[in-house]
Structure 1
Amino acid sequence: MAEKPPTTPRPDSGPYPETIAAIATATGRGGIGVIRISGGGLLDFAWTLSGKQLRARTATLVDFRAADGSSIDSGLLIYFPAPYSFTGEDVLELQGHGGAVVMQMLLARCLDLGARLAEPGEFTRRAYHNGKLDLAQAEAVIDLIDAATTTAARSAVRSLQGEFSNEVNVLLEQLIELRALVEATLDFPEEEVDFLEAADAYGRLERLQQSLARVFDRAHQGRLLQSGLHVVLAGQPNVGKSSLLNRLAGDDLAIVTSVAGTTRDVVRSTLQIEGIPLHIIDTAGLHATEDEIEKIGMERTWREIERADVVVLLADARSGIGTAERVILDQLPAHLRRITVFNKIDLAGHQAECHDEAGGLAISLSAKYGEGIELLRQQLLKIAGWHPAEDVFIARERHLRALADTRKHIETALARLPELELFAEELRLAQAALASITGKFGADDLLGEIFGRFCIGK
């Protein structure tokens, strides 16, 4: 066995004195399984585990040894010294065979050597606290893992690489510069300087508003890529909801018969249109009934409608909107966007078209033959607010709220001029809202909520 390497020092201070370990690959069988370890002084850890000296960022073939010297598994061991690692600490990556039992045996050995099991998201949280990622980049890690479309994945990579953060930081610099000028004027009131004119306060804020609007638009598009649009198909029994779901999904997901009430529970499907995830929910027909099962199905329908972004109300093109449809319309939440679809134009002798209907948009189509389906797809994208763009970055609801709060404080600041004290306070609030995106001013409870949603080992 090779001579034991010199002991590497453990960090004397910092928020993370402990060594953590976790399985970083998915549960189950696989060709390769990975265990990640992060902490301080990990060359000693690696020596005890493998009996091998390691070179930085070089894969070394080793036997992973149990306490009695027997081999648990053989594989690759890679050492990433601090601060040149994902977490900014010493990191070991153990690549072994991907069986569930052998991975658990190897993890248990790491815990016996003094590591503890990592909490969800703890590796990424350490990367954030050690300055390897800001908060928006850290969130992009899980967004990349959860990406449901290729467009969402590409946008998450942009955020992970810092595009979103860079845009936010440019806005922050402009705010900070303007705040510095305001504070200087407040500190030296005897200076006969016309602040509003000399600092171009109005012009600066207007340009800032324009830049903020562009960032908000890109972030909104990214939010759509991340969460998608939840669409509920509602209407009387046998108007073609299940046929429309199948046509949109391109598969026979729901049973279609001429018997009214075939669908008694919600049927879900996720598809994508131009990269936007579309969560389509087919529901039980809404009508008066004494059937207990149908009643339960309709209760679930109304619960889905309450959570929806858009409701597509189907009606038969031959009969149009009748009393039953008006009863449904009257019960829809006032804020809910809707599209009225007149289905079965193949039986009514009508053409596929998009037209205005009292209270909203209407589309005539045939779910059976696919006529007018593309009209519906495009209108759903329009309602979502999507427009094609190449430079979208992934964003979350909290990012949009922060940008909206920033915009509100800037608008209020403009209204406060020339009252410099109030103007300065609104700029401070705008800066705090904007800085919360990257985590420069982040509360501990917010960090706990964000990283707690990560998987263990990330």
Structure 2
Amino acid sequence: MIRNDTIIAQVTCPGKSAVGILRVSGIHANQVAFAVLGKIPKPRFATYSKFFDESKKVLDEGISLWFPAPFSLTGEDVLELQGHGNPFIMDLLIKRILCLKNIKIRIAQPGEFCQRAFLNGKIDLIQAEAIDDLINSETESVVRASLNSLHGNFSFYIQKIIKKLIEFRTNIEASIDFSEENIDFDFNIFIMSNFEKLNDKFLKIKNIVSEGSLIREAKRIVIVGPPNAGKSSLLNVLSCRDRAIVTDLPGTTRDVLYENINIHGISCEIIDTAGLRETEDKIEKIGIQRSWEMIKNSDHVLYVMDKTISLEDQKKTSIQFMKQISSYNIQEVTFVLNKNDLVEDFCGITKIENLLFISISALTGQGIDILKKHLSNRQKNKSQEGLFIARRRHIHQIDLSYCELLKAQKNWLKYKNIELLAESLNIINKLLGEITGEFTSSDLLKRIFSTFCIGK
């Protein structure tokens, strides 16, 4: 995709530094090189150069790099000028280039270099997002995962399933075009066989995403449970500040409270909620409804109970809660037995009938380190070699695609309609294509690249 305008931006962070870098990309980059350097540098070689103003006086001197299209970051002609990192010098160079006559050149928008790289087929949308993830990484695991995504690890799995889907679509659509021809094999067996193969691939990729990826967004941990169990106290002790009001009155928390914290290198969003109970209070009812909404959209649920209640009641409450959320797509649930200081019992992790219980005291801090380690273990234990970044939008698209596949299989068994099947496969193809950017809208691209910094 050739654009008729050329863009420029400072690549290095604004402010004083040893080196400041400007990047120019577009069809007029060669004219910028002639104007500022007096010549086009040797392609892909670092050239010591003087940077001239309009009067041919030296503005600065440093390294120039020339990457002719299509062998560049953006797929367009790219010129990079590496000078001294003085903000005043950088500003003079940018003004010098923007004032060149007969050249349509402007300041780049946030993420525009990466956007052009995507539009010109140099990277897919997953890799473009991985660049932003890499820049904003705050832990070593996220850095490694972002690099793996940038190298195409996640894209590889998506492309494999798309390739199989296209093969299936090709055969289905060919059968529509030649429906009057004699078919010498059992077409139903062929279709069901492909459904089975696609189903296996979807289950595999869902498992890979679950076990081998880091969610870019903070891990969402929701604290729930009955009133006065110590939910707000747990939020305060995890965030190391008095974020929530704590009293001995039931129903103190009536809304949702958010707190972003770092637990052993894992970015987490801790959410405190209203106590789950039957009530006639209209305001508290709204808070409880919001609690259930938070539970539905959580990555990990901490169900807090008062440890002073009987073991029988603990077991009954935990089983009842698991039944209530059986239809939710929740990755993990941990039952937190608070107020251990009142019973002076074992403080740690126990497992009862596949349910995990951790005894703590939010008042004294007993067991909090054990709980924090438990919250971070699932992320820490993932294979560092194959780790990659998956955004929530990727997971959402995979889930939508898989639901459409199950729907298509059900409709085929019921109606045996080849046109309906072809349309469903087309929908799945587009849903998966939106992950890599094969099918995408301008609104989605604008939303993604607007989060990038200028110069990327």
TM-score over 0.5 (shorter chain):
yes
**Which amino acid is the alignment partner of residue 170 of structure 1?**
K
**Which amino acid is the alignment partner of residue 352 of structure 1?**
C
- Check conservation: 1:152, 1:222, Cα contact below 8 A: no
Partner of 1:392: 387
Partner of 1:270: 261
- 1:82-122 CA distance string (max 9 Å, x none): 11100011111111222333322222222122421011111
Q: Classify 1:399/1:244 alpha carbon distance in 2 versus 1 (closer, same or farther; 3 Å).
A: closer
Q: Does 1:57 align with 2:44?
A: yes
- Which residues in structure 2 correspond to 1:64-75 (within 5 Å)? 64-75=51-62
Q: Within 1, Cα distance between the matches of 2:288 and 2:45?
A: 56
Q: Does 1:345 align with 2:348?
A: no
- 1:27-56 CA distance string (max 9 Å, x none): 333222211110124333113212355111
Partner of 1:226: 216
- In the superposition, the TM-score normalised over structure 2's length comes to 0.76
Partner of 1:166: 156
Q: Does 1:450 align with 2:443?
A: no
Partner of 1:106: 93
- Check conservation: 1:233, 1:312, Cα contact below 8 A: yes
Q: Within 2, Cα distance between the matches of 1:409 and 1:238?
A: 42
Partner of 2:282: none
Q: Within 2, Cα distance between the matches of 1:15 and 1:188?
A: 39
Q: Secondary structure at the match of 2:388?
A: coil
Q: Secondary structure at the match of 1:454?
A: coil
- 1:66-87 CA distance string (max 9 Å, x none): 2233333322111111111000
**Which amino acid is the alignment partner of residue 94 of structure 2?**
L
Gapped regions of structure 1 (runs ≥ 5):
1-13, 287-298
- Which residues in structure 2 correspond to 1:136-285 (within 5 Å)? 136-193=126-183, 196-197=186-187, 200-220=190-210, 224-231=214-221, 253-254=240-241, 268-273=259-264, 276-280=266-270
- Check conservation: 2:11, 2:21, Cα contact below 8 A: yes
- Which residues in structure 2 correspond to 1:347-386 (within 5 Å)? 348-354=343-349, 362-366=357-361, 368=364, 370-371=366-367, 373-375=369-371, 377-378=373-374
**Which amino acid is the alignment partner of residue 395 of structure 1?**
A
> Could you tell me how far 1:421 is from its partner in structure 2?
2.3
Decide which moves more: 361-370 or 395-404.
361-370
- Check conservation: 1:35, 1:95, Cα contact below 8 A: yes
Q: Within 1, Cα distance between the matches of 2:167 and 2:420?
A: 17
> Could you tell me how far 1:278 is from its partner in structure 2?
2.0
Gapped regions of structure 2 (runs ≥ 5):
277-285
> Could you tell me how far 1:228 is from its partner in structure 2?
2.5
**Which amino acid is the alignment partner of residue 369 of structure 2?**
I
Question: Identity over the aligned pairs, expressed in percent?
Answer: 34
Q: Secondary structure at the match of 1:200?
A: helix
- 1:173-201 CA distance string (max 9 Å, x none): 21111112122222223333255458732
- 1:301-335 CA distance string (max 9 Å, x none): 9999976835646666568999xxx9xxx9xx987
Q: Classify 1:94/1:435 alpha carbon distance in 2 versus 1 (closer, same or farther; 3 Å).
A: same
- In the superposition, the TM-score normalised over structure 1's length comes to 0.75
Q: Within 2, Cα distance between the matches of 1:147 and 1:188?
A: 53
- Check conservation: 2:261, 2:268, Cα contact below 8 A: yes
Q: Within 2, Cα distance between the matches of 1:147 and 1:42?
A: 32
- 1:356-397 CA distance string (max 9 Å, x none): 89xx96531245455363245426766x9x962342321222
- Check conservation: 1:86, 1:132, Cα contact below 8 A: yes
- 1:281-308 CA distance string (max 9 Å, x none): 689999xxxxxxxxxxxx9999999768
Q: Secondary structure at the match of 1:394?
A: strand
- Which residues in structure 2 correspond to 1:312-323 (within 5 Å)? 312=302, 317=307
Q: Within 2, Cα distance between the matches of 1:112 and 1:319?
A: 76
Q: Classify 1:282/1:377 alpha carbon distance in 2 versus 1 (closer, same or farther; 3 Å).
A: farther
Decide which moves more: 387-396 or 277-286.
277-286
Partner of 2:424: 426
- Check conservation: 1:305, 1:311, Cα contact below 8 A: no
